[in-house]
Structure 1
Amino acid sequence: MVAVIKTGNSVHNIFNYNENKVKEGIAECIGEGNYPLEAAKLTGVMKLNRLLKQNSLNENVKRNSVHISLNFDPSESALSNEKMLEIASQYMQKIGFGNQPYLIYRHYDAGHPHLHLVSIKVREDGSRIDMQNIGKNQSEAARKEIEKMFGLVQAQEKKKTRHELVKPVVLSKIKYGRTESKSAVQSVLDHVLPAYKYKSLSELNAVLGLYNVKADRGEENSRIFKKNGLVYRTLDENGKPVGVPLKSSGFYSKPTLKFLQKKFLLNTKTASHKKRIASAVDRIFLNSCVSLSDLALKMEKEGINIVFRKSEGGQLYGITYVDHTSKCVFNGSDLGKPYSSKLIEQRCRLSFEKEKEKPIPILSETSKSNKAVSLENNKENVFKDLQQDLKSLDFKSAVEKMIEVITKVENDVSYVPNQLKKASKKKRVRRRSNNL
């Protein structure tokens, strides 16, 4: 069992986090501690007000909320709610929160069974619970006792052998909640970090994103960014982070920011790697008219993934190419202007405009033969009219029609373009001499 303890300055936030999970159907409130009614009989307002009312007894405590998660080994998925309630009760008692009001939520959004406990730091008499080093001291001792008491997998033993339990290379996207998050992310990192050639965090994330993983430094003003920290996050199908961030130092391979920065300097990419991607793009535009999505699909067949970076409004502002053959990652501008996001979008648009242009119709051999047949039919009709005129003794009319048919030009084969005409010879004019 692994316990994670966090404190905050808003009871509303941690309460709403867990209740929203319940509404989504991926969690349930299975119990409570020191409430007047059972969890099943409590409304949302009753749950929250009990915590807020006791917190109001000491307004000097700013970080007054407590959020604890108890995480069990994936092999312990058969743990019943009753046993989990016993474990939660024992744990809260041993860390000094046995008399505090708390709520117990069981979550089903990860590949391992786990609980979330919501409580407060203010006691019933208004005093504050000291949580200095609670994780290192009280929580660690409670964990070991509970593991023996309930026959749970020991976290310490698990830590020693965790590198042996990592699954083989992940060849598909991680689906949050279906696999144990940390081992799945570790598998992706083991596959990507040593093999691919990337020179920045954004290039690395272009590859990791294909497996629903992201290396995140946080916002520039955040504590993790200022301390040069790094976490790895699991993404949902829309590319949004889900679940708890995983510290880079927590993985056995230690893929920290310092480690990655060294990789950025060592990774080398050559012009031939660029040429392969550029040639693949040019061939696709040469042979067919494509949209952005069609281009991505056709490039996948070449072993190259295209990662489009779009704004919230759907506007394309960046493009990255991931070549799984050479294991190289390039931004569009690195290949040249024709392969940047702006010009790729223009090339897709132009290809469709050319497709819409209607070509000038060319008379086929079939249509030519049809025209000749039509002409012959016209002649036959004329001669039939002549015969009719002769029978009616309209001799003059018959002669006129015959002359018209005979003199009618079907194809003027004598016509020669001016460019092909031979220059005419000028006759020399002899001038008489005045001496004669």
Structure 2
Amino acid sequence: MEHKYNLHPAVKGQEQADAPGFRKVNYKAGNVKQQISSVIRSCLRHYRCSSYGELRTLLEAFNVSIEERTGTVDGRSYAGIVYGAMTDDGYGIGTPFKSSKIGKDIGYKALQAYYAKSKEKLKEPDALDHLRHTVKDAMSPYNTRDEFRQRLEADGIDAILRINPTGRIYGITFIDHNAGIVANGSVLGKELSARVFNELFPASQKEEPHPVEQHAEQKGEQRSHTAKSGFGIVDTILDLADTQAYEEQQRQIQRRKKRRLCK
């Protein structure tokens, strides 16, 4: 993909260790943790995503799942990130990794800073103009959904449609590989929102399912499979937290056990 979109990966230090970067994760090839690490860091270097949803869409294009885990344990809040491998058809496979097992630079706090920085960059004058104009030029009531996507792909842009079981478009994200921008349609303007594309490409159109299209229920089931693979329900919630909440809980349990033994 680096060659296809003329991307130039960095080749020193940690970045060199993360090569080959933009290759899709191939679970059967082994060394899954390294593959996932490589994809995540390459995406954070080369693309600007202003939200968790946009980053999730980008990573899934490279067979990497991402899940935010937030909550409280014994009154203490935690926030963490878990990454996993996906198959080409969008299903989670293997055991996921919490971000602390890969590196702090892709943890929850680091991603919040990344979103904020990306948002500021995308607010700069003309930052989204080329993507906005290219998408508008590709829109036509005479095109099908596939023809619309194909026109954008010729310009190095992927259009990721989110579709419910009835075929209605309820979300759309654009990935500009040349400019390194990931943006939801609504970010580009009301005239490029999901509602507009749903009217332009109604569900009555008969087309073969596209690999990037996912139904809401199916997507939820896939992510649930990814999160639970290798973990029990309780372990999933606790072990995915990128904080000390779980460790503190264990210390409290040990203290209670000691008190019971002393009685």
| Residue 244 in structure 1 maps to residue 80 in structure 2 | no
Assess, with a 3 A threshold, how the Cα gap between structure 1 residues 222 and 213 changes in structure 2: closer, same or farther. Answer: farther
Partner of 1:346: 199
The TM-score normalised by the length of structure 1 is 0.39
Alpha-carbon shift at residue 258 of structure 1 (Å) = 0.5
Partner of 1:200: 51
Partner of 1:292: 145
- Residues 233-292 of structure 1 show CA distances to partners (whole Å, capped at 9, x for unaligned) of 111222222211111011145310001111112221134232212211222235x82222
Assess, with a 3 A threshold, how the Cα gap between structure 1 residues 167 and 330 changes in structure 2: closer, same or farther. Answer: closer
User: How many angstroms apart in 2 are the aligned matches of 1:284 and 1:164?
Assistant: 36
User: What letter corresponds to residue 126 of structure 2 in structure 1?
Assistant: S
Assess, with a 3 A threshold, how the Cα gap between structure 1 residues 259 and 167 changes in structure 2: closer, same or farther. Answer: closer
Assess, with a 3 A threshold, how the Cα gap between structure 1 residues 209 and 271 changes in structure 2: closer, same or farther. Answer: farther
Partner of 1:411: none
Partner of 1:328: 181
* Aligned-residue identity in percent: 25
Alpha-carbon shift at residue 230 of structure 1 (Å) = 0.8
Alpha-carbon shift at residue 312 of structure 1 (Å) = 4.9
User: How many angstroms apart in 2 are the aligned matches of 1:242 and 1:312?
Assistant: 24
User: What letter corresponds to residue 248 of structure 1 in structure 2?
Assistant: S
Q: Which runs of 5+ in 2 are unaligned?
A: 1-12, 206-263
Assess, with a 3 A threshold, how the Cα gap between structure 1 residues 222 and 325 changes in structure 2: closer, same or farther. Answer: farther
User: What letter corresponds to residue 279 of structure 1 in structure 2?
Assistant: H
1:317 touches 1:342 (CA, 8 Å); kept in 2?
yes
Partner of 1:170: 21
User: What letter corresponds to residue 133 of structure 2 in structure 1?
Assistant: S
User: What letter corresponds to residue 326 of structure 1 in structure 2?
Assistant: A
Partner of 1:304: 157
Matches within 5 A, 1:74-89: none
| Residue 276 in structure 1 maps to residue 130 in structure 2 | yes
Partner of 1:120: none
Alpha-carbon shift at residue 222 of structure 1 (Å) = 8.5
Alpha-carbon shift at residue 175 of structure 1 (Å) = 2.3
User: What letter corresponds to residue 85 of structure 2 in structure 1?
Assistant: T
Assess, with a 3 A threshold, how the Cα gap between structure 1 residues 235 and 314 changes in structure 2: closer, same or farther. Answer: farther
SS of match in other structure, 1:294: helix
SS of match in other structure, 2:131: helix
User: How many angstroms apart in 1 are the aligned matches of 2:61 and 2:14?
Assistant: 24
| Residue 229 in structure 1 maps to residue 80 in structure 2 | yes
2:104 touches 2:110 (CA, 8 Å); kept in 1?
no
- Residues 165-194 of structure 1 show CA distances to partners (whole Å, capped at 9, x for unaligned) of 845233332222223210101110121112
Matches within 5 A, 1:15-54: none
Matches within 5 A, 1:353-368: none
| Residue 317 in structure 1 maps to residue 204 in structure 2 | no
Partner of 2:7: none
State the Cα RMSD in Å.
2.9
| Residue 261 in structure 1 maps to residue 112 in structure 2 | yes
Assess, with a 3 A threshold, how the Cα gap between structure 1 residues 281 and 240 changes in structure 2: closer, same or farther. Answer: same
Assess, with a 3 A threshold, how the Cα gap between structure 1 residues 163 and 329 changes in structure 2: closer, same or farther. Answer: closer
The TM-score normalised by the length of structure 2 is 0.62
Assess, with a 3 A threshold, how the Cα gap between structure 1 residues 173 and 164 changes in structure 2: closer, same or farther. Answer: closer
SS of match in other structure, 2:126: helix
1:166 touches 1:186 (CA, 8 Å); kept in 2?
no
Assess, with a 3 A threshold, how the Cα gap between structure 1 residues 164 and 299 changes in structure 2: closer, same or farther. Answer: closer
Equivalent pairs counted in the alignment come to 187
Alpha-carbon shift at residue 307 of structure 1 (Å) = 1.5
Higher relative contact order (CA 8 A, sep 6+): 2
User: How many angstroms apart in 1 are the aligned matches of 2:168 and 2:25?
Assistant: 27
SS of match in other structure, 1:295: helix
User: What letter corresponds to residue 201 of structure 1 in structure 2?
Assistant: Y
Partner of 2:231: none
